[in-house]
């Protein structure tokens, strides 16, 4: 079981709504919203507070002292399970869902209900999703399924329709910046550029800061610039990007291309993902064609999606950067 149970300021509204009437919860919930908002931590919080014998509904928090709370803190609660992709796989498989079903049809050992968290739910393959659908259509008694997803449209519509959705929205920019600056050790002057790079998601911005991503971003932007002038080798750049994390680099590139498109369509006033690199992006855009940028953006999206499958990360990066080199040099 995930032990990272935590409420953030922007998730208190959802918590209080759930605690108003825990006896009338549906059999399945879908926690949906962008990455970096604490959905998985919220699912762990729900498991904690719903299994507690003496929750404080005003806070709302668990007591931390009852048997359920102690077992959950030790990671040994028999009625709470966390299902995610196996370490050696990129998907949640049908075998995992079958094992889950066998568990759910047993009565709770010590709690009032069995609680299963599936995260990230969009990583279920089609067979696993179909297996879960059977559970959603005929839910076992005394059970609660919590699906956590940053991309719920990748779930079958039949699965989504059988869950009550709890939506997580990005907090107001002022609230997000205030929270980031309150984190011990977080450099306040990096809050705004990191929050922009994180798409407004505070926890994602925090992760980027801890990974030193502003320095990495500087390297990636430098590679994009030199590839455009023919002074860099796409294959060498791809190897370097892979060492930095293929997904992280492609997601940044996606945001960077969106910035270039924004500059093309509204040069004077628009919010950029790379808000502190506007001058460099304006120089870069002068050599680029808008229609080609849209086509390239689609190619970056396709390559990012392929990372969830068996595709070779280095080959994907090489293909994308070769495409960029040709696009940026065509004028």
Mean pLDDT of 58-73: 88
Residue 58 has pLDDT above 90, yes or no: no
What's the pLDDT at 269? 60
The predicted-structure confidence for 249-303, as pLDDT tens digits, reads as follows 999 999 999 999 999 998 666 789 998 999 999 999 988 999 999 999 999 999 9
What's the pLDDT at 87? 73
Which domain does 301 fall in, by range? 211-329
The predicted-structure confidence for 149-197, as pLDDT tens digits, reads as follows 999 999 999 999 999 999 999 999 999 999 999 999 999 999 999 999 9
User: Is residue 194 included in any domain, yes or no?
Assistant: no
Confidence of residue 1 (pLDDT cuts 50, 70, 90): very low
Check whether residue 163 and residue 35 sit in a common domain.
yes
User: Is residue 176 included in any domain, yes or no?
Assistant: no
What DSSP letter does each residue of 282-299 carry, written as one string? Answer: HHHHTT--HHHHHHHHHH
What's the pLDDT at 308? 82
Check whether residue 15 and residue 160 sit in a common domain.
yes
Q: Where is average pLDDT lowest: 25-34, 77-86, 179-188, 264-273?
A: 264-273
Check whether residue 159 and residue 228 sit in a common domain.
no
Instruction: Choose the final residue of a domain: 167, 192, 224.
Output: 167
Q: Scanning the structure block, which residue is given the tokens 């498109």?
A: 261
Pick from 291, 210, 287, 216: which is nearest to 251 by CA?
216
DSSP lists the bridge partners of residue 83 as 118
Mean pLDDT of 3-30: 85
Check whether residue 135 and residue 253 sit in a common domain.
no
Helices (H), 198-312: 202-210, 213-228, 234-244, 246-265, 278-285, 290-306
The predicted-structure confidence for 196-240, as pLDDT tens digits, reads as follows 999 999 999 999 999 999 999 999 999 999 998 888 999 999 999
What's the pLDDT at 84? 94
pTM score, two decimals?
A: 0.88
d(CA 108, CA 94): 23
CATH label of the domain that carries residue 150: 3.40.50.300
- When divided into structural domains, the chain yields a total of 2
């Amino acid at each position: 079981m995930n032990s990272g149970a935590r409420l953030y300021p922007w998730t208190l509204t959802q918590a209080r709504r759930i605690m108003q009437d825990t006896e009338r919860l549906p059999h399945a919930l879908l926690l949906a919203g962008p990455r970096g908002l604490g959905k998985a931590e919220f699912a762990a919080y729900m498991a904690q507070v719903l299994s507690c014998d003496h929750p404080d509904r005003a806070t709302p928090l668990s007591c931390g002292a009852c048997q359920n709370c102690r077992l959950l803190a030790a990671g040994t609660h028999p009625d709470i399970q966390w299902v995610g992709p196996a370490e050696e796989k990129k998907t949640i498989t049908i075998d995992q869902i079958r094992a889950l079903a066998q568990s759910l049809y047993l009565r709770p050992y010590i709690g009032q209900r069995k609680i299963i968290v599936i995260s990230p739910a969009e990583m279920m393959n089609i067979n696993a999703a179909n297996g879960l659908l059977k559970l959603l259509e005929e839910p076992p008694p005394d059970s609660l399924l919590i699906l956590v997803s940053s991309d719920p449209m990748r779930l079958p519509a039949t699965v989504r329709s059988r869950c009550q959705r709890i939506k997580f929205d990005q907090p107001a920019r002022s609230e997000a910046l205030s929270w980031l600056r309150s984190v011990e050790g977080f450099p306040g002057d990096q809050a705004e550029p990191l929050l922009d790079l994180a798409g407004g998601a505070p926890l994602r911005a925090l992760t980027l800061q801890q990974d030193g991503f502003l320095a990495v971003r500087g390297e990636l932007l430098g590679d994009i610039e030199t590839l455009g002038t023919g002074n860099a080798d796409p294959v060498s750049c791809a190897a370097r990007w892979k060492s930095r994390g293929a997904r992280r680099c492609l997601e940044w590139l996606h945001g960077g291309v969106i910035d270039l498109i924004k500059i093309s369509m509204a040069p004077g006033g628009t919010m950029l993902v790379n808000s502190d690199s506007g001058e460099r992006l304006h120089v870069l855009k002068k050599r680029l064609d808008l229609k080609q940028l849209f086509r390239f953006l689609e190619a970056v999206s396709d390559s990012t999606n392929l990372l969830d499958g068996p595709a070779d990360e280095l080959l994907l990066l090489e293909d994308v950067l070769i495409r960029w080199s040709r696009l940026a040099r065509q004028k």
